[in-house]
Amino acid sequence: MIPKRIAGIRFEVLSPQEIRRMSVAKIITPETYDDDGYPIEAGLMDPRLGVIDPGLRCKTCGGKAGECPGHFGHIELAAPVIHVGYAKLIAKLLNATCKECGRILLKDDRRDHYINMIEQKKRLGQDCEDVIKEVFRVTKGVKVCPHCGTEQTEIKFEKPTFFYEGEHKLTPKDVRERLEKIPDEDLPAFGMNPKAVRPEWMVLTVLPVPPVTVRPSIILETGQRSEDDLTHKLVDIIRINQRFMDNKEGGAPQLILEDLWELLQYHVTTYLDNEVSGIPPARHRSGRPLKTLAQRLKGKEGRFRGSLSGKRVNFSARTAISPDPNISINEVGVPKIVAEELTVPFHVTDKNIEEARELILRTEHPKANYVIRPDGRRIRVLDTNREELAEKLEPGMIIERQLMDGDVVLFNRQPSLHRMSIMAHYVRVLPYKTFRLNPAVCPPYNADFDGDEMNLHVPQSLEAQAEAKILMSVQEHILSPRFGGPIIGGIHDHISGLYLLTRGEKLFTRKEVMSIIKPIEVKELPKPKYVKDGVEYWTGKQIFSMILPDITIEFKAEICQGCEECKKEKCEYDAYVIIKNGELVSGTVDEKAVGAFKGIIIDEIMRKYGSERTRKFIDDMTHLAIRAIMYTGFSFGISDEDIPEEAIKQIHEVIAEAEKKVEELIKAYREGNLEPMPGRSIEETLEMKIMQVLGKARDQAGKIASRFLGMDNSAVIMAVSGARGSMLNLTQMAACIGQQSVRGERIKRGYTYTNRTLPHFKPGDLGAKARGFVKSSYKEGLSPVEYFFHAMGGREGLVDTAVRTSQSGYLQRRLINALQDLKVEYDGTVKEQTSGMLVQFRYGEDGVDPTKSFRGKAVDVKRIINEVLSSEGEQVREYE
Amino acid sequence: MSEEKVEGEIEENASGENMDYDKIFEEFPLPMTVKEEIKNELVKINASEDVARKVVKKCYEVYLRNLMEPGEAAGIVAAQSIGEPGTQMTMRTFHYAGVAEIDVTLGLPRLIEILDVRKNPSTPMMTIRLTEEYAQDRSKAREVANRIEATYVLDIADIATDIRRMRILVSPDEKAMERKGLTLEDLKKKIEKGLKNVEVEESDGKIVVQVTEPSYKVLMDTLDKLKKLVLAGIKEIRRVIIRKEEGEYVLYTEGSNLKKVMKVKGVDASRTITNNIYEIYEVLGIEAARNAIIQEAINTLEEQGLEVNVRHIMLVADVMTADGELRQIGRHGVAGEKQSILARAAFEMTVNNLLDAAVRGDVDKLKGITENIIVGQPIKLGTGDVELVLKMGKL
């Protein structure tokens, strides 16, 4: 079955006849409901306009609430009014056409020239706006009509809807009469389509009244009816319209009529758009501006962005997330109460009818919630009708079965910045009330467990389920299309764990090995590395090798110190990783090997064995890491930043020296002995030099601290292996926080008239302390002055983040909007779909998918050469 | 031409068993960049024909496997790949990039600036390379710098007003004059040319500017004009810094005017760039602008330590330049010129787009993504783009 498609949607302006033709009721009274609560005939809630109350039937189509789409009515305006949205165009038209004969102020051949130009541009899919602009510009300058010879007077337009001819004000009626005279043949020159619009239609004589379904009234708890903003506005219009008619018939003076006419214009204007500049917005009794037609469409929560582009769905759930390292990365733990509510359709055939019957008869978790009969009726399965429904079950019915283990669901965390923000997971129904996910999939979602919530959607159709499984599964997104490297991998404890396991030569007895590899499927143990006194010992590297597939690879680990000459396998830091035929020969496994974003091993397995094997590796790796870290134990506390007295003394010395140097610099500056750097003022030079000195002092303090902390310190292990934190964080905790900055400069704001940051200092003090240098460490604690400066710097960071999210969000929206219609065609070209414009002859110049590319390269030549060489039995070279 | 020569030399220098790998490539139509890389690697390991053939064959297989699949939403992937790291970028506007002396906008603000195609970026900057004869010698480079850097009267002289006699006295500083390579005569001529209604005279090393009309206002106006008068160099270029890089002197400027700088003697126009993309578009054309967008975007992202595949950036640059004009990403460019009314209405300026479309009698053909989402139809991308249907029961 090929679904029908809408070929197109044409936009036109409604003519008065059209408005009357589609109307089912002429609305004349401003009243809505009578005293009994029934809608008044010919009122704004006329029953012919549709139904909103359940139980009633529509007087026009007979449909019930929900079935009847509603029908338009109309109001006959006592006098024409300008449509605000077109006021500017009307002004341009009036100035471009003759006041007498209505013809365009151009000779026919010139007009045809422009029309041809516009048509040609349209045919080519180009923007014809500039030609139209030129037409209006040229015609505005014409003083005498080339057709009838009448002299033209300029018409001044005053926002929002007023026109003046010299001093004389034009009424909408005058305007309409002039527009009527413009012939159809001239319209294309103004970019108007005579088939879609007549200029006089831009001056309203009849107002369509939207159906009640568009403006439903709500009944408050008190039983009172509260009308929609649109209804309020329409009431105003009808009221003034009536008064205008009465006055006109009664022969009221012209002045009063004009006032009323203007009032009617105001109401119609605000009915269409309540944010027009130049007039006060119409307000609700409470003082809130009314939300009228334009406001309904506009903006983020408007019809277009809020309701049409973004849709609400059923079969979804949302709750907090928490980690579960024991489930696979492509699984999600779903709380039982959620699983009992969400359903998957189960199509009953004669082959599975017994299974379906069983589901209906069940009273516990995987049971059927609803039975849908072929006529579309949904029946809830209850204790009372269970037996009956099971009996009446027949092929062709659909039952809605509760979510079970193995169902595929989509899992999402906002903000959905890239496609990895929605991935397909397999369900694992678990107790408690949070969604559970393997911490290795946190990076693509950018999730943590400090209270984050995530959404879950259940695809209903078989097609959707198939697509989810094949295209959206977590393992299909291990490689990021952004840079062609893994985005899923070990984080935090996974890295610390493997680091502890594989670093150096740790030995484990058989019992220990078995406890570590318990969650992993290992068929047989390798030969123990050592046998001492009859006891077998395996190394941590051997244990890690058990989860590796057959790969051969060499690279420098994260902990690499960047020595001038690499000693390779003899590296004293054990930082040179060699994996030969699936055996970790040397080196330590850390962030570079298995981490998210870096993970060279993950990348290699992905390319050699594909997504499923990689998924298994990541699962095994996380299991192994957690076991390993539990075996050694790993903790981190305040005492981990303890440094000996000696170190503290050294740090203080370094800082004192730096402060002295700063004083010297300031002295030199005061005496005028400071040589400015090229292109900088002396003040700037001083600042830069001071920053340099203080920055160096902090680095030195950090070095001293880390020397005393040693490599076995938990914080150091986390920092060097890339598990969490950096050496800088550590420095700030143990040694010295360093210079605080606002806008990249030392803190200089404060009491400007005395030129000091705080009253604790002398005016004009440029010293380290007075400009926000914090010499304490977090552990020592900050002095009040330091604390204040630290808060200043911290606040800047917060503001920065807040501003950045909104800015980058808008940038992303614009990018998506500009690029969303680009598609790679079967011939490898990239085309814009709406216009058919060719954007690239070959995607990315070589047609290579960035996801599959090797960190941007079309083909990983070195790897292939190594592969070929190793198959030839030759020496393998180092990986870069 | 020269490239071929270099290669020939390598092959000669290598051992005898080395051979012409080009032949193998004839069977396997790989992109140029890949070919080059394979060739270089093969030469490095001195591969035999057998090995070389195996490598190339395998590379070709991998290449075919790595190709983009038809129907892929390349645009959306590109937009996400550039937009997502935007959240991780810093807001801090100023910092140095390579040259400590010149402030350059970086991070998210710069990325926005590039995609917005601002005509006046907040920190225009040029990197000027010199022709051979000027690039090796510092004083020669200084000479070029003097021709480029805007020199004002105040840079080389003191200005004093003599209200009683209605004149302005310009007393030049000889040292400064010499450094800038100007003479008193030049100065006089420039002032004569640049100011109206004045008489310029020279008297013992000073220049006297006499206002012809004895009015205080005219005198002050003349003074202002004199202060703004550019004696030498290019007005837009406020500062020039000379640095030695990779064995040659390179000029970095604050401010940019590509058109004028390219004409300056001693400037190697083919290696001179500006970070003002719009200027590149105007002076060198659309293809150069495309490359400039790619280069600037890559530099901005790289400086922030963010890895983004070039192909994404290329696609964005190609969209911005596809119809021969530079169009920004946003309301006044790519997104605003969409054919679809509904897509435009869903982006920005909802009401105006609908009103205009009605007057024109436009038709939305529902070919794009947003439109089809709005009317509730499957979109024409990826699996939604496949028109092949299996007739049930025919299997």
Give per-residue pLDDT as tens, B28-61.
Answer: 888 888 888 888 888 877 777 777 888 888 888 8
3-state per-residue secondary structure call for A538-580:
EEHHHHHHCCCCCCCEEEECCCCCCCCCCCHHHCCCCCEEEEE
For A820-854, b/e burial (b = at least 16 CB within 10 A) is bbbbbeeeeebbbbbbebebbebbbbbbbbbbbbb
Please, are residues B121 and B296 in contact by the beta-carbon 8 Å criterion? no
Judged by average pLDDT, the poorest of A664-678, A783-797, B195-209 is B195-209
d(CA A827, CA A844): 14
Q: Is A791 on the interface with B (CB under 8 A)?
A: no
Answer whether residue B6 shows pLDDT above 50: no
d(CA B82, CA A418): 10
Q: Give me the pLDDT at residue B5, please.
A: 42
Where are chain B's structural domains?
Answer: 2-65, 76-123+275-327, 151-232, 338-385
Q: Give me the pLDDT at residue B139, please.
A: 84
d(CA A444, CA A421): 6
Give the chain A residue whose CA is nearest to the CA of B348.
A299
d(CA A68, CA A71): 8
Q: Give me the pLDDT at residue A336, please.
A: 94
Interface of A with B in 804-823 (CB under 8 A): 804-805, 807-809, 811-812, 814-823
Q: Is B83 on the interface with A (CB under 8 A)?
A: yes
* C-alpha torsion sign, points B44, B45, B46, B49: negative
Q: Give me the pLDDT at residue A675, please.
A: 80
Residues of B in Cβ contact (< 8 Å) with A418: 80-81, 83-84
Fold of A493-632: Enzyme I; Chain A, domain 2 (1.10.274)
Interface of B with A in 22-51 (CB under 8 A): 30-31, 33-34, 37-38, 41-42, 45, 47, 51
Asked whether the beta carbons of residue B363 and residue A10 sit closer than 8 angstroms, the reply is yes
- CA–CA min distance B74, chain A (Å): 6
pLDDT band at B235 (very low <50, low <70, confident <90, very high): confident
Q: For residue A658, which of A619, A688, A701 has the smallest C-alpha distance?
A: A701
Bridge partner residues of A378 (DSSP): A372
Q: Give me the pLDDT at residue A756, please.
A: 86
Give the chain B residue whose CA is nearest to the CA of A2.
B389
pLDDT band at B4 (very low <50, low <70, confident <90, very high): very low
Q: For residue B154, which of B140, B173, B181, B137 has the smallest C-alpha distance?
A: B173
CATH superfamily to which A638-799 belongs: RNA polymerase Rpb1 funnel domain (1.10.132.30)
What would the pLDDT profile of A130-146 be if each residue is shown by its tens digit? Answer: 888 888 888 888 888 88
Asked whether the beta carbons of residue B68 and residue A843 sit closer than 8 angstroms, the reply is yes
What would the pLDDT profile of A254-297 be if each residue is shown by its tens digit? Answer: 888 888 898 999 999 999 999 888 888 888 888 899 899 999 99
Answer whether residue B7 shows pLDDT above 50: no
Helix (H) or strand (E) holding B208: strand B206-211
Interface of A with B in 571-600 (CB under 8 A): none
What would the pLDDT profile of A632-671 be if each residue is shown by its tens digit? Answer: 889 988 888 888 888 889 988 999 999 899 888 888 888 8
Answer whether residue A340 shows pLDDT above 90: yes
Asked whether the beta carbons of residue A419 and residue B80 sit closer than 8 angstroms, the reply is yes
What would the pLDDT profile of A387-441 be if each residue is shown by its tens digit? Answer: 888 888 889 899 999 999 999 999 999 999 999 999 999 999 999 999 999 999 9
Mean pLDDT of chain A, nearest integer: 88
Answer whether residue B226 shows pLDDT above 60: yes
Residues of A in Cβ contact (< 8 Å) with B361: 10-12, 192-193, 195-197
pLDDT band at B319 (very low <50, low <70, confident <90, very high): very high
Q: Is B380 on the interface with A (CB under 8 A)?
A: yes
Which stretch, A429-438, A592-601, B148-157, has highest mean pLDDT?
A429-438
Q: What is the mean pLDDT of residues A96-119?
A: 86
Q: What is the mean pLDDT of residues A64-78?
A: 88
Asked whether the beta carbons of residue A820 and residue B309 sit closer than 8 angstroms, the reply is no
Question: What CATH code is assigned to B76-123+275-327?
Answer: 1.10.1790
Bridge partner residues of A583 (DSSP): A580
Residues of B in Cβ contact (< 8 Å) with A89: 359
Q: What is the mean pLDDT of residues B137-142?
A: 84
pLDDT band at A318 (very low <50, low <70, confident <90, very high): very high
Provide the CA B374 distance to its chain's centre, in angstroms: 38
Interface of B with A in 151-190 (CB under 8 A): none
Give which of A19, A819, A825, A846 to mutate to test B binding, by max B Cβ within 10 Å.
Answer: A819
Q: Is A148 on the interface with B (CB under 8 A)?
A: no
Q: For residue A50, which of A37, A68, A66 has the smallest C-alpha distance?
A: A68
Interface of A with B in 67-106 (CB under 8 A): 85-86, 89
Residues of A in Cβ contact (< 8 Å) with B45: 865, 869
| CB burial of residue A533 (10 Å; 0-12, 13-18, 19+) | exposed
What would the pLDDT profile of A344-361 be if each residue is shown by its tens digit? Answer: 999 999 999 999 999 999
Q: Is B360 on the interface with A (CB under 8 A)?
A: yes
Q: Give me the pLDDT at residue A751, please.
A: 76
Residues of B in Cβ contact (< 8 Å) with A862: 41
Give which of B65, B91, B314 to mutate to test A binding, by max A Cβ within 10 Å.
Answer: B91
Bridge partner residues of A370 (DSSP): A380, A400
Asked whether the beta carbons of residue A839 and residue B389 sit closer than 8 angstroms, the reply is no
Closest partner residue to A848 (CB to CB) among B67, B71, B354 is B67
How many other β-carbons are positioned within 10 Å of the β-carbon of residue A195?
Answer: 11
Give which of B34, B63, B66 to mutate to test A binding, by max A Cβ within 10 Å.
Answer: B66
* C-alpha torsion sign, points A880, B6, B10, B11: positive
Q: Is A418 on the interface with B (CB under 8 A)?
A: yes
pLDDT band at B11 (very low <50, low <70, confident <90, very high): very low
Residues of B in Cβ contact (< 8 Å) with A837: 322-323
Asked whether the beta carbons of residue A838 and residue B322 sit closer than 8 angstroms, the reply is yes
What would the pLDDT profile of A664-717 be if each residue is shown by its tens digit? Answer: 888 888 888 888 776 677 888 888 888 888 888 888 888 888 888 888 888 888
Q: Is A9 on the interface with B (CB under 8 A)?
A: yes
What would the pLDDT profile of B240-297 be if each residue is shown by its tens digit? Answer: 888 888 888 888 888 888 888 888 888 888 988 898 999 999 999 999 999 999 999 9
Please say whether the structural domain B338-385 has been given the CATH code 1.10.150.390: yes
Give the chain B residue whose CA is nearest to the CA of A676.
B101
Please, are residues A621 and A594 in contact by the beta-carbon 8 Å criterion? yes
For A204-217, b/e burial (b = at least 16 CB within 10 A) is bbbbbbbbbbbbbb
pLDDT band at B95 (very low <50, low <70, confident <90, very high): low
Q: Is A608 on the interface with B (CB under 8 A)?
A: no
Give the chain A residue whose CA is nearest to the CA of B74.
A823
Q: What is the DSSP string of A793-830?
A: HHHHHHHHHHHHHHHHHHHHHHHHHHHTTEEE-TTS-E
Where are chain A's structural domains?
Answer: 85-202, 228-310, 316-477, 493-632, 638-799, 821-880
To the nearest whole percent, how much of chain B has pLDDT over 90?
A: 14
To the nearest whole percent, how much of chain A has pLDDT over 90?
A: 29
Q: For residue A364, which of A392, A391, A333, A339 has the smallest C-alpha distance?
A: A339
Q: What is the mean pLDDT of residues A223-229?
A: 83
d(CA A587, CA A557): 7
Judged by average pLDDT, the poorest of A76-90, A163-177, A859-873, B254-268 is A859-873
Residues of A in Cβ contact (< 8 Å) with B59: 859, 861, 864
Q: What is the mean pLDDT of residues B336-365?
A: 87
pTM of the model: 0.88
- CA–CA min distance A525, chain B (Å): 35
Question: What CATH code is assigned to A316-477?
Answer: 2.40.40.20
Please say whether the structural domain B151-232 has been given the CATH code 1.10.760.10: no
Q: Is A880 on the interface with B (CB under 8 A)?
A: no
- Beta-strand (E) ranges in A583-696? 583-586
Q: Give me the pLDDT at residue B12, please.
A: 41
pLDDT band at B2 (very low <50, low <70, confident <90, very high): very low
Q: Is A793 on the interface with B (CB under 8 A)?
A: no
Mean pLDDT of chain B, nearest integer: 82
Q: Taking the CA of residue B357 as centre, how many other CA atoms within 13 Å lie in the half-sphere pointing to its CB?
A: 22
Q: Give me the pLDDT at residue A68, please.
A: 86
Q: Give me the pLDDT at residue A4, please.
A: 82
Residues of B in Cβ contact (< 8 Å) with A195: 361
Q: Give me the pLDDT at residue B93, please.
A: 55
Which stretch, A77-86, A570-579, B226-235, has highest mean pLDDT?
A77-86
Q: Is B95 on the interface with A (CB under 8 A)?
A: yes
Size of interface A-B (CB pairs under 8 A): 349
- CA–CA min distance B195, chain A (Å): 30
